[in-house]
């Protein structure tokens, strides 16, 4: 899981880029970007979100390449599951990233008295941001339905270009 797969010679096995990985990366980039633009509607007007859509889209690109693209070719049911999984992981890592970002910005202003208080604040921010995403159903619809469609298209790419 954490180490490269070994070949018979003992050398690490290198995973080659595939068309399925490329297609998944592009599709989940688009899914992440679209979900992020819907999420911008929940932000307060004074909040600067310059790199927010790009950051979420890059998480989508990473998840598409590493998760969905590498598991292509296992069937339609698995493709649907991988697509939904990637959509949920984009949301999880995006919310976690911005909860940590907010915590670090607050800690730079000496808002927390101890590291434990900062960790608890991060978890509180994570929950707050998650509940904020539930205010607009388009966010989760984009992640789940778009993820399922992207998973199916990744599976088709994996079968078409082996």
Encoding tokens for residue 18? 């595939």
State pTM to two decimals: 0.85
Separation of CA 84 from chain center: 11
Query: How many residues in the chain?
Result: 162
Contacts of 86 (CB under 8 A, 6+ apart): 24, 28, 31, 60, 63, 64, 67, 68, 147, 150, 151
Q: What is the pLDDT of residue 14?
A: 59
CA dihedral 129, 139, 60, 58 (to 10 degrees): -60
| Tens digits of residue pLDDT in 23-78 | 999 999 999 999 999 998 888 888 777 889 999 999 999 999 999 888 888 899 99
Per-residue pLDDT band for 138 (boundaries 50, 70, 90) equals very high
- For the cut 80, the answer to whether the pLDDT of residue 6 exceeds it is no
Q: How far apart are CA 147 and CA 151, in angstroms?
A: 6
């Amino acid at each position: 899981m954490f180490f490269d797969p070994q070949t018979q010679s003992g050398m690490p096995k290198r995973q080659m880029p595939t068309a399925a990985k490329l297609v998944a990366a592009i599709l989940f980039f688009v899914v992440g970007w679209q979900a992020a633009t819907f999420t911008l509607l929940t932000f307060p007007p004074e909040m600067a979100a310059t790199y927010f859509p790009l950051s979420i889209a890059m998480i989508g690109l990473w998840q598409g390449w590493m998760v969905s693209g590498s598991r292509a070719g296992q069937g339609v049911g698995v493709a649907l599951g991988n697509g939904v999984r990637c959509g949920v992981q984009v949301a999880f890592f995006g919310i976690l990233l911005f909860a940590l970002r907010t915590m670090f910005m607050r800690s730079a202003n000496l808002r927390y008295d101890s590291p434990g208080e900062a960790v608890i604040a991060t978890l509180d921010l994570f929950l707050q941001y998650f509940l904020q995403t539930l205010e607009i159903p388009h966010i989760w619809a984009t992640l789940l339905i778009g993820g399922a469609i992207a998973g199916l298209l990744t599976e088709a790419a994996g079968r078409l270009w082996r």
